[in-house]
Amino acid sequence: MTQTDPFDFVIVGATGDLTMRKLLPAFYQRFRLGQAPEGTQIIGVARSKLSSEEYRERGAKALKEFVPSDSYDAAQAEAFLELVQYASLDAADKDADWSTLKSLLDGHEDRPRVFYIATAPNLYVSTAAAFADKELISPHTRIVLEKPIGVDLASAEEINTGVGRYFSEEQIFRIDHYLGKTTVQNVLALRFANPMLERSWNSGTILSVQITAAETVGVGARGPYYDTSGALRDMVQNHLLQVLSLVAMEPPASLTAADLRDEKLKVLRALKPMSPEAVAKDTVRAQYVAGEIDGKAVDGYLTDLGDDTSTTETFLAIRTEVRTPRWFGVPFYLRTGKRLAEKATEIVITFRPQPWPIFQDAPKPSRLVLRVQPHEGVSLTLSSKDPSKDEFRLREATLDVSYPEQFHTRYPDSYEELLMDAVQGDPVLFIRRDEVQASWRWVEPILAGWKEDARALETYKAGTWGPDSSKDLLARDGSKWLEDF
């Protein structure tokens, strides 16, 4: 672990679910590893009238609930919470009482200072303006913006331009926690550290690519937010397009932020545009209705939302292409949804079949599956001679590597590395402004087509893999989703 000097990390929106469920547990894990040294301050900022001690009590409950039992230690949690302070403040209001926060930061201008904005995106600009007005932005200050950056290209540009009045692009860290997942980063290692794979990573060898992010949970308490967002804005515009760009990018000149993000941007700009005809033909959108998860009855989306009507999609599947010589003619399938049959985030690379038959059995195409979560690992499915048959018959065999078992280590939560990268000023795993622009430019025609009902909203039972039309999307190319092989 790269050790750090003391730093100040200010979390705006510090009483929210993200802070309690993810950010404080992530800092606790890094404290255990010595990356949050004595003198560090983690300062929670929110409007709730709490003392630092009362906030630490909330933090203690969150650590006990959300830190895995095998890494939770009560004494270490207590020691970590000594670093935590709290300031009651509406950070988007210049006229509020800023004295507590200013006193905590006074005299620390020469050390790293991070403002993490875990609030609604419409408060990003006013919050940045307030930091500037109170003269809290030093040369060593960074600002971290949670997704989503806007709801469309225009609002994203408004946020980026507004925050950019007070922070330089080098100081703005747009976070996408999928890039903090070690298994997502491992796409780079598998491709570029293993020439046998990289030399096969093209349309001459690969038949199709599918990227799935499936959840078994419903919208829960996020219902009001989710109903204004939907799966396309919530998952595709950021997470899945970032994963796609890592899968499809050309080798970067180096792993520096500039080189890596340049290559990702080229992929985003090379995505096949979604015309109204393509939206009708190459997308599926649906909403879950009542069904069963793990043998238990669960409600439909409208019941979870507490509303009678909604056209918000909780499932989508999209077929697209990357218009580069490497990927000519290779379909890329994106799929995400709530209340699906299993929780799984995975990348499936299907290789082209044998071009001529010499076996009695037609061998199934080989598949490389990169499991992002859960059961982090990689598997390669191959055809082999069936040892139970005298005649030459084929049988599938799978070479499987579980990363936790292989490396005998805890796989860190995605926020752990990202938080420390922000402290250290390393932007390589964060999103650049032009990437946000390119993503929204590709997504907006889909949103517009759905608004005009170019593709009707379907339904699917909770506990299934979505509507049958998502299977038809692949069947046109003679392909299947992984669970159907």
Backbone phi, then psi, for 466, in 5-degree steps? 95, -175
Q: What is the pLDDT of residue 173?
A: 97
Question: Residues with catalytic annotation?
Answer: 239
Q: How many CB atoms lie within 10 A of CB 401?
A: 13
Q: What would the mean pLDDT of 334-361 be, rounded to a whole number?
A: 91
Average pLDDT of the chain to the nearest whole number: 94
pLDDT at residue 353 tops 90: no
Mean pLDDT for 259-273 is 97
Task: Tell me the two tokens of residue 42.
Answer: 């983690």
Question: Whole-angstrom Cα distance, residue 278 to residue 320?
Answer: 9
Supply the pLDDT for residue 78: 95
Distance CA 280, CA 454 (A): 5
Closest by CA position to 149, among listed 139, 138, 158, 137: 158
What does the alpha-carbon distance between residue 140 and residue 6 come to, in Å, rounded to a whole number? Answer: 13
Half-sphere exposure of 84 (CA within 13 A, CB side): 30
Mean pLDDT of 345-374: 87
pLDDT level of residue 64 (50, 70, 90 thresholds): very high
Give the model's confidence band at 136: pLDDT under 50 very low, under 70 low, under 90 confident, else very high.
very high
Tell me the per-residue pLDDT of 392-437, one tens digit each, with 9 for 90 and over: 888 888 999 998 888 888 888 899 999 999 999 999 999 999 999 9
pTM: 0.94
**Among residues of the chain, what percentage have pLDDT more than 90?**
83
Q: What pLDDT is stored for residue 120 in this prediction?
A: 87
- Taking only the tens place, the pLDDT of each residue in 464-483 is 999 999 999 999 999 999 99
Among 230-239, 349-358, 375-384, where is mean pLDDT lowest? 349-358
Query: Would you state the pLDDT for residue 412?
Result: 85
What does the pLDDT read at residue 147?
Answer: 85
Q: Return the pLDDT at 359.
A: 77
Distance of CA 439 to the CA centre of its chain: 14
pLDDT tens per residue across span 12-38: 999 999 999 999 999 999 999 888 888
pLDDT at position 385 is 85
Q: Report d(CA 317, CA 473) in Å as an integer.
A: 8
